[in-house]
Structure 1
Amino acid sequence: MYRRLRYSQLSAFYANYATKVEIDANIRDGFESQRYKPRNHPGRTKVKVATIPMAIQKAIKIVLDDNDAKMYLEESEKLANYLNSRHLPPEDGEIDEKTAKIYSSVSQNYYSKLNKELTEEEKYKSDKYIQSKVFNILKKNVYAWGNISYDKPTCLQYLIARAAPEYAVLLRVLDEIKRKLPDYKPRSFFDFGSGVGTGTWAVNTVWTGDIFEYFTVDTSQHMNDLARLLLCHGKDNVEMPYKAYFQRQFLPASSDIKYNVVLSAFSFFELPSMKSRLETIQKLWNKTEDFLIIIEQGTNAGFRVVNEAREFVLSVTDEQNKGYVFAPCPNDQICPRFLEQKTPCNFLMKYETLGYPSKVELFGELFSYVILRKGERPANDPQWPRVVRAPLVRSGHTICRLCTKEGELKEIIFSKSKFDQTTYRCARSSNWGDELPVK
């Protein structure tokens, strides 16, 4: 038996004896009365596959057909690939440090090959040669960051490439609040980097009829025009269905007006530095009444941005503005996945493509996110561990990788012989991104 287990699995096997894991006693009665079933336990994510609402799909088709958007299909694919492979802009200090190291290496290598004293003219030419070589090496080794100029064609390409996956991810993340707080009904919504309007579509799906005021910010006027057009069913002569719907190109500095739900999804890569990102997080947190949601691509760079926001908000000491992590983390400790710096903490959401111009297909989108809530963590928060990788389901046992309320990553082997039936079946039924209702 031991030879079949990997080292990490073997460690987890022994850990099972030291760590008692069982269904949360507060909900055990629910399982015994069959109000809950392991296959649909209260920690499971309800949204499995997302499809853009039919009314929005019709509006998208009208807009794309009106603009003969089939010509943008190839460019939209290139744009999607570029967005998914983006890195953060290099900081000034990073470039200076890298330049100094390269210069030292190149000059040392160059002068080590010379066996003579150089004249002043030769020194001048040598310095020019070394500087040129350093510059060429830097060009290959320093990421050439630039924010994207969203003109009308680029906005349409973005709509084709990103509307479906972004809406799916937003629906999945917002449903986290809906699942855990079914009676919560936000009245106002603020969307930073609103793009084609996927945030507005998602909040209206999750809280249909509850949102009264919408405030969206996007630096591209073309994006704002497109987002409004899609809400008006793709037609210029149709009245906006939401009375209190406001659009701006820049983030208002004032924090006098606060919003129940504040969102920034796939937007921070457009900011030129860490300083500007942190300043923006501060402004968004100041505008937050209940929840601040940050979502980025599920890459190392995207995860870094999300963790920046998480750490920044958790460092706030002002009693009026303190907050805690509502999801996905069951703790407010330093992220153990970030400390490892090997793989990002990310999750997978499945979605149906637009089907433009061909058939609808099923794809998956990797994303990283954090939901931060104003106030102190409630004393009755169960802080169930989060399943942070796809469970390995085997005959007679299931291996779950969990992030715990102690701020640790644990790998637990749930077997029929070592766990009660309810705990075992809940673990076996859980998916990547679910909470496991155990203590």
Structure 2
Amino acid sequence: MFRKIKFSQLSIYTNYSTRVEIDSSLREGFNRQEYKPRKHPGRSQVKVAIIPPDIQKAIKLILQDSGAKSYQQESVKLNNYIHSRLLPPEDDDIRRKASKIHETVSKRVLSKMDKELTQEEVETCNKKIDTTVFNVLKKNVYRWGNISYDKATSLQYLMARAPPEYAALVRILDEIKRRLPDYTPRSFFDFGSGVGTGTWAVNTYWKNDIFDYFTVDTSTHMNDLARLILCQGRDNVVMPFKSYHQRQFLPASVDLKYNIVLSAFSLFEMPSMQSRLETIQKLWNKTEDFLIIVEHGSNAGFRVVNEAREFILNGCKEKGYAFAPCPNNNVCPRYLELETPCNFLIKYETLGFPSKVEIMANLFSYIILRKGDRPSDDPQWPRIKMLTYSNKNSAADLGDKCLLGDLDSGVTIDRDNRYQANMSRKQLKKKGGDHNHHAGQMDR
């Protein structure tokens, strides 16, 4: 059942100034010279993501056989369009906007009338007002529409979106693998599976552990393409996974649960907030361990991720907690106070088809939600969001830190402390910008 999020129930903490402290166990490791600033438990191992060679080989074979060289320009246009998309306007918002426009237009039209109107003139005047309101509204309301993925569009999507999406997913799954090295998922559910990047990503870490794959995508062309890629790009090759299921729609049953449930770059196809949250509820019901929501690193993309996060943590009966990237379950202070997205940058290698291979970068937003209660020993390291360098002679650098639902803009990184100084100087080289680091758990 759809539940309305009650934002009044969310806890918001006030700002206070503090100093960043490295986790004590990490500090001891540095003292024993077990870690270096560029290599420690909080640092992601994914620097430049590259699609596995066997998958790349299959993709290039499919693209060559399909004559996809001619799709190069169209794939760029599709990618640009996807990045620029906004969420569909809500009916209530449209009605409010229409009401305001109607009031303005009515006043303007009626102010020109210098006599009492007949019934017929009133009807004519109202029609004129309604027509004007409709035309103004049409220009001021975002024209949302879901994308229809036919065969050509699916190939264009493969060319443009497969590398950055795979890159984001391996970076996110690295978070689970690094923090829970002994975790072995046995099943995987992918909503809005597209060309299969989710399957490639989980197989990067748990290929020998997962025995059940269930993917959902409304496009039969996407499903065919995903299956063909796993079969080396050839129709006569047997599917390498014994339990690999594809469907066009979410199964109605909630009895069967999956260790990892993923929705990556899919929720923009939902026509409203209610449909998005109803989908999130269904995915949460199918989750055994982890639910992962991923979208583009834009304002609209992060809004969707944050919407799902708040709904699960505050509107669902089954308990869960934010596993990553947040160090807590409280409302996101960055979005609440600054209205800016919490996003991450990942570098990736392009397919090299039809042009040469390039290293590019992509911004994404995500949340990993885990079923159950947060463990008492869960590391609650604060996350440094922005770093602003002071002059070389200054004793400290300043940054914004996300901790316990607060965006603290008075964080001091002491240069006299050699551990923290090494972290800040060697890893946070660029001035300003969104670095997404943790104190004691950097590059998280």
Q: Which TM-score applies when normalising by structure 1?
A: 0.91
**1:349 alignment partner, one of 332, 346, 349:** 346
Deviation (angstroms), 1:95: 1.0
Q: Partner amino acid for 1:213?
A: D
- Greater relative contact order (CA < 8 Å, ≥ 6 in sequence): 2
Secondary structure of the structure 2 residue equivalent to 1:345: coil
Deviation (angstroms), 1:341: 5.1
Q: Judging changes above 3 Å, is the alpha-carbon distance between structure 1 residues 44 and 395 closer, same or farther for their aligned structure 2 residues?
A: farther
Q: Judging changes above 3 Å, is the alpha-carbon distance between structure 1 residues 55 and 393 closer, same or farther for their aligned structure 2 residues?
A: farther
Q: Give the Cα–Cα distance (whole angstroms) in 2 for the partners of residues 74 and 438 of structure 1.
A: 41
Give 1:14-413 correspondences, 5 Å limit.
19-316=18-315, 318=317, 321-340=318-337, 342-389=339-386, 392=389, 395=392, 397-413=396-412
CA deviation map 1:373-403 (0-9, x unaligned): 0111111112111233466586465443321
Q: Judging changes above 3 Å, is the alpha-carbon distance between structure 1 residues 100 and 329 closer, same or farther for their aligned structure 2 residues?
A: same
Q: Give the Cα–Cα distance (whole angstroms) in 1 for the partners of residues 158 and 243 of structure 2.
A: 24
Deviation (angstroms), 1:105: 0.7
Gap regions ≥5 residues in structure 1: 1-14
Q: Judging changes above 3 Å, is the alpha-carbon distance between structure 1 residues 316 and 142 closer, same or farther for their aligned structure 2 residues?
A: closer
2:431 is aligned to none
Residues 21, 439 of structure 2: 8 Å contact kept:
no
Secondary structure of the structure 2 residue equivalent to 1:403: strand
Secondary structure of the structure 1 residue equivalent to 2:169: helix
Q: Judging changes above 3 Å, is the alpha-carbon distance between structure 1 residues 38 and 297 closer, same or farther for their aligned structure 2 residues?
A: same
Q: Give the Cα–Cα distance (whole angstroms) in 1 for the partners of residues 18 and 256 of structure 2.
A: 47
Q: Give the Cα–Cα distance (whole angstroms) in 2 for the partners of residues 208 and 252 of structure 1.
A: 24
2:432 is aligned to none
Deviation (angstroms), 1:338: 2.1
Residues 346, 362 of structure 2: 8 Å contact kept:
yes
Q: Give the Cα–Cα distance (whole angstroms) in 2 for the partners of residues 71 and 438 of structure 1.
A: 45
Q: Partner amino acid for 1:437?
A: G
CA deviation map 1:48-71 (0-9, x unaligned): 211111111111111111111112
CA deviation map 1:337-365 (0-9, x unaligned): 22125211111111111111111112111
The sequence identity of aligned pairs, in percent, is 62
Deviation (angstroms), 1:212: 1.3
Q: Judging changes above 3 Å, is the alpha-carbon distance between structure 1 residues 392 and 60 closer, same or farther for their aligned structure 2 residues?
A: farther
1:10 is aligned to none
Residues 80, 161 of structure 1: 8 Å contact kept:
yes
Q: Partner amino acid for 2:286?
A: K
Q: Give the Cα–Cα distance (whole angstroms) in 1 for the partners of residues 441 and 271 of structure 2.
A: 42
Gap regions ≥5 residues in structure 2: 1-15, 429-434
Secondary structure of the structure 1 residue equivalent to 2:366: strand
Q: Partner amino acid for 1:342?
A: E
Secondary structure of the structure 1 residue equivalent to 2:329: coil
Q: Which TM-score applies when normalising by structure 2?
A: 0.90
Q: Give the Cα–Cα distance (whole angstroms) in 1 for the partners of residues 116 and 426 of structure 2.
A: 75
Q: Give the Cα–Cα distance (whole angstroms) in 1 for the partners of residues 116 and 199 of structure 2.
A: 70
CA deviation map 1:183-231 (0-9, x unaligned): 2111111100000000001111122322111110001111000000001
CA deviation map 1:396-419 (0-9, x unaligned): 6544332113533435242424xx
Q: Give the Cα–Cα distance (whole angstroms) in 2 for the partners of residues 203 and 390 of structure 1.
A: 33
Q: Judging changes above 3 Å, is the alpha-carbon distance between structure 1 residues 63 and 395 closer, same or farther for their aligned structure 2 residues?
A: farther
Secondary structure of the structure 2 residue equivalent to 1:388: strand
